[in-house]
Amino acid sequence: MEQKDGEAAQKLQSLTEKLTTLRHENIDLVQHKKDIESLLSIETEKRANAEEEMAQMRDQLLANANLLASPALSRVGSTNAFSDYLFIQLCSYFHVKHIA
């Protein structure tokens, strides 16, 4: 009987040590997950800012192309042809439908 009690106590001690180890690993993994989520949040915000900046730049480029293509600026035929070419190229680059 004493032998079984000793084995049970030894088994209990072993399982307690495993539980403690697993708890420490869990704490480390939870902290690692929080760190990764924080980095993901930062990168997501950076991406959103970059996309917004690109959209603003695209809008400005299209506005510039429209200005170049306007009759007020294209007094000379070659300038008008260049403006039309530039406008068409910008529209196709940004996948915008243009009126020919």
Residue 19 falls inside a structural domain:
yes
User: In sequence order, what DSSP letters do the residues of 53-82 get, joined into one string?
Assistant: HHHHHHHHHHHHHHHHHSTTT--SHHHHHH
As for how many domains the chain has, the answer is: 1
What is the tens place of the pLDDT at every residue in 66-83? 877 776 665 555 556 677
Domain range for residue 34?
2-93
Residue 7 falls inside a structural domain:
yes
Number of H helices, E strands in the chain: 2, 0
Band of the pLDDT at 33, cuts 50, 70, 90?
very high
Residue 70 falls inside a structural domain:
yes
pTM score: 0.56
Chain position carrying tokens 């243009």: 98
Give me the percent of the chain exceeding a pLDDT of 90: 51
Residue 8 falls inside a structural domain:
yes
